Amino acid sequence: MPSLIELRDVWYQYNPNSPLSYWALKGINLKIDRGEFVSIIGPTGSGKSTLIQHFNGLLKPTRGEVIVDGIDISKTKDLKIIRKKVGMVFQYPETQIFSETIYDELAFGLRNYGYSEDEIKKKIEEVTKKLGIDYIPLDKSPFLLSGGEMRRVAIASILAMDPEVFVLDEPLANLDPQGRKELLREIDHLNRKESLTVVIVSHDLSEVSKYANRILVIFDGTIIMDGPPREIFKNVERLIEIFLGVPQIVELLYSLYKRGADIPYNILNLDEAAKVIVKWRKSLGNRDKLRTISTT
């Protein structure tokens, strides 16, 4: 089966033919398969947002090819089909809300794609449950909701369209810790239970690494790392060098490792870290050996 999204040597230039022109993407090769949970990580200005806007044809490559589900986005005349396959949630999606009621907001995309009112009603019921907003009355104005609720409504309005891949640009920005955790867990649930392909853009490795099964690190318009989180975390120094950093617990273990502790540091969560440390402590046995760890 072909990849869901495939990019072949994609280059993108902003403001072509002017002194302000610059290349935001420099030769991106990438394949995303069905069912993956991919996280695209990169510092500000590295080209993350530019990259994902190629996935649904909002931007077209200056050079190279973008193929979504077998369709070349530069050649197709019907980008609307692609935009349904690739559901895209922009940064601060709550700022795109415009309807008088939550129901209308959620129905906007579905109506654009010509669903019948019966289908729309069904889809909205489903999606509000999935994102845990089914307690909010649908005839309420979306502008009376809290920030976190508005975010969910905006995300739900895209999820309602039944995309094949769900692309989210910094979906956690400006949410409180509890809200971030819940939203991520719900997205993870969609990925596991409904095998929805998920792409999350973020600049924070620690949050998404718990769920993503693949991380793409993008820097200065090129992909510099691509692999499961455990592989990515092996490059602690490079990640710090490009201002991304690593989860604190990885940094702690790496710091111990550098001081002479014989432990792996590419771990994914606190529980695993605890086990690694306990095992290491036991292997040391007595106090004398512990002193060999430099304290400087």
Residues that bind another protein (CB under 8 A): 19-20, 53, 56, 58, 80, 83-84, 87-88, 90, 93, 95-98, 108-109, 112-113, 143, 157-158, 161
Strand 5-14's sheet: what is its strand order? 22-32, 5-14, 63-68, 71-72
Nearer to another protein, 102 or 205 (CB): 102
Nearer to another protein, 109 or 148 (CB): 109
Q: How far is the CB of 264 from another protein (least distance, A)?
A: 41
Q: How far is the CB of 230 from another protein (least distance, A)?
A: 33
Task: Report yes or no: 93 and 148 within 8 Å, Cβ to Cβ.
Answer: no
Q: How far is the CB of 284 from another protein (least distance, A)?
A: 55
Q: How far is the CB of 161 from another protein (least distance, A)?
A: 7
Report residue 215: phi and psi, to 5°. Answer: -120, 135
Nearer to another protein, 108 or 254 (CB): 108
Pairing of strands 222-227, 165-169: unpaired
Nearer to another protein, 116 or 255 (CB): 116
DSSP letters for 45-102: TSSHHHHHTTTTTSS--SEEEEEETTEETTT-S-HHHHHHHEEEE-SSGGGG---SSH
Nearer to another protein, 141 or 195 (CB): 141
Distance between CA atoms of 78 and 84, rounded to whole angstroms? 11
Nearer to another protein, 114 or 285 (CB): 114
Task: Report yes or no: 86 and 38 within 8 Å, Cβ to Cβ.
Answer: no
> Count of residues for the chain?
296
Q: How far is the CB of 1 from another protein (least distance, A)?
A: 25
Q: How far is the CB of 292 from another protein (least distance, A)?
A: 56
Cα 135-95-192 angle, rounded to 5 deg? 55
